[in-house]
Structures are given as structure tokens and as C-alpha cells.
């Protein structure tokens, strides 16, 4: 069988393999080659070198150009609207109008964003500690304790004092009466 198969043209070999695959829908190319005593790798490389590829969906060897064309036909091509340069210019002009506002927002974001490293104001922790009893919500205490676990070299009083001090600095010029009220509520 091998000698007879080798005497066939590539097209006839492809037709033979394709017909046998169609006759038995359960047989694979590997089992088919074994059945007829053919070397699978030789058959596949011969077909590939001649421009044939195996199509899993149809279970056939087809010319590679047909496979590429089928792939191209099956792809959904989206229509993309081309933006005109006039629209881009208008967008840039509009952004330039708000440039200062955008830059201010970015600065505020960077000022308000949390730092990656814990910063403790050393001028605060050098003062004498004064004992005050005030109530704090359980979830806030848990969060501060978790923070202390991340930074074990700081005491709980350092973290709480720094948080209160940062809050004071952030709002001292904005709503002094409101802050005084909030802080007085903490000490009740």
C-alpha cells in the first residue's frame, strides 16, 4: 500500500486521505495512517510542504489559501469611524480652556493620596503625652490596630495623634467651628 500511495500525485493522496476520513467519521488521521501502513509524519509534512492544511471543522486537508480565505470571511470586521483633524483640534482647545482646573485637581489628588510610607510628625511625638478618655468606634480601632501591625515601630498613641493632627491641619482654615465641634465630641 505504501508504494502505491507514494506513486499517487499529491492531489490524489489528499483525495484518498480525505475520502477515507469521510467514510469513517470516528477515525483520526493517526489511526488512518496506521491502518494503511503509512508514516503519519511523512504524510503530514508532504501535505504541508505542498500547501495543504488540515481543517478540523471539515475533517479534510484543504489548500492553505482556502483556509486563509475562509478565516478572513469568518472574521467580523468592525467599521471604525475616522476622526477628522477638526474634531481633534476642537477637543484640544476645549482641554486647554480647563488646563488650570485640571492641573489643580491633579495637585489636590497627589496631596490627598495616601503615601506609601508611614510618616509621623516627630514634633508631635516629642511632646509630653496627655491622657484623655474618648470613645472610638470599634471598626476604627480595628483599622488603627491593623495599621500598627504594619508599622510595629510606632505606638498606638503616635498613630492616633498623627491622624488627628493631619485632620486638624487639613481643615484648620476651612471650618474651624465645625472641627472644634467634632473634636469636642471625641472628648466626651
One domain, residues 112 and 176: no
Co-location of 63 and 22 in the same domain: yes
Residue with cell 474634531: 87
Q: Identify the domain boundary among 89, 117, 145.
A: 117
- Which structural domain range is residue 155 located in? 123-186
Predicted structure pTM score: 0.36
Looking at the fold, whether 136 and 177 belong to one and the same domain comes out as: yes
Task: State how many domains the chain has.
Answer: 3
Find where cell 491622657 sits: 131
* Pairing relationship of beta strands 52-55 and 60-63 according to DSSP bridges: antiparallel
Please say whether the dihedral angle defined by the alpha carbons of residues 84, 87, 89 and 95, taken in this order, is positive or negative.
negative
| Mean pLDDT calculated for residue range 74-81 | 61
Same domain, 109 and 84: yes
DSSP state of 129: P
Question: Do 20 and 60 lie in a common domain?
Answer: yes
Residues 99 and 128 occupy one common structural domain: no
- pLDDT class for 153, splitting at 50, 70, 90? confident
Q: Measured between alpha carbons, how far apart are the two ends of the chain, in Å? A: 100
Residue at a domain's end among 41, 72, 103: 72
For residue 157, pLDDT beyond 90: no
Q: Summarize the confidence of residues 150-179 as an average pLDDT.
A: 78
> How high is the mean pLDDT of the chain?
79
pLDDT at 80: 59
> pLDDT tens digit string along 7-50?
889 999 999 999 999 998 889 999 988 988 999 999 999 999 99
Type and span of the H or E element at 52: strand 52-55
For the segment 141-159, the average pLDDT, to the nearest whole number, is: 87
Strands (E), 89-139: none
Integer Cα distance of 61 and 49 in angstroms: 12
Whether residues 47 and 15 share a domain: the answer is: yes
Q: Which residue has the higher pLDDT, 64 or 33?
A: 33
129 shares a domain with 103: no
Helices (H), 113-137: 122-125
Write out the H or E segment, with its range, that includes residue 164: helix 156-171
C-alpha cell at 58: 471539515
The reply to whether 105 and 128 lie within a common domain is: no
Q: What is the CATH number of the domain that holds 18?
A: 1.10.10
pLDDT (tens digit, 9 = 90+) per residue, 81-122?
Answer: 665 666 788 888 888 888 888 888 888 777 665 544 566 766
Number of residues that this document lists for the chain: 188
Query: Within this chain, do residues 12 and 31 fall inside the same structural domain, yes or no?
Result: yes
Same domain membership, residue 149 and residue 84: no
Residues 159 and 171 occupy one common structural domain: yes
Amino acid at each position: 500500500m505504501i508504494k502505491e500511495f507514494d506513486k499517487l500525485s499529491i492531489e490524489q493522496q489528499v483525495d484518498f486521505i480525505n475520502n477515507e476520513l469521510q467514510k469513517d467519521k470516528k477515525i483520526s488521521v493517526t489511526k488512518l495512517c496506521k491502518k494503511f501502513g503509512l508514516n503519519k509524519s511523512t504524510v503530514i509534512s508532504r501535505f504541508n510542504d505542498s500547501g495543504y492544511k488540515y481543517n478540523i471543522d471539515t475533517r479534510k486537508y484543504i489548500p492553505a489559501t482556502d483556509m486563509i480565505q475562509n478565516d478572513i470571511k469568518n472574521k467580523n470586521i468592525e467599521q471604525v469611524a475616522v476622526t477628522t483633524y477638526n474634531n481633534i483640534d476642537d477637543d484640544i482647545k476645549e482641554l486647554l480652556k480647563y488646563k488650570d482646573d485640571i492641573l489643580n485637581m491633579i495637585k489636590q489628588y497627589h496631596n490627598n493620596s495616601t503615601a506609601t510610607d508611614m510618616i509621623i510628625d516627630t514634633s508631635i511625638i516629642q511632646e509630653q503625652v496627655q491622657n484623655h478618655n474618648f470613645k472610638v468606634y470599634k471598626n476604627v480601632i480595628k483599622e488603627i490596630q491593623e495599621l500598627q501591625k504594619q508599622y510595629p515601630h510606632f505606638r498606638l498613641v503616635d498613630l492616633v495623634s498623627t491622624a488627628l493632627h493631619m485632620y486638624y491641619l487639613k481643615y484648620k482654615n476651612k471650618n474651624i467651628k465645625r472641627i472644634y465641634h467634632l473634636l469636642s465630641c471625641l472628648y466626651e
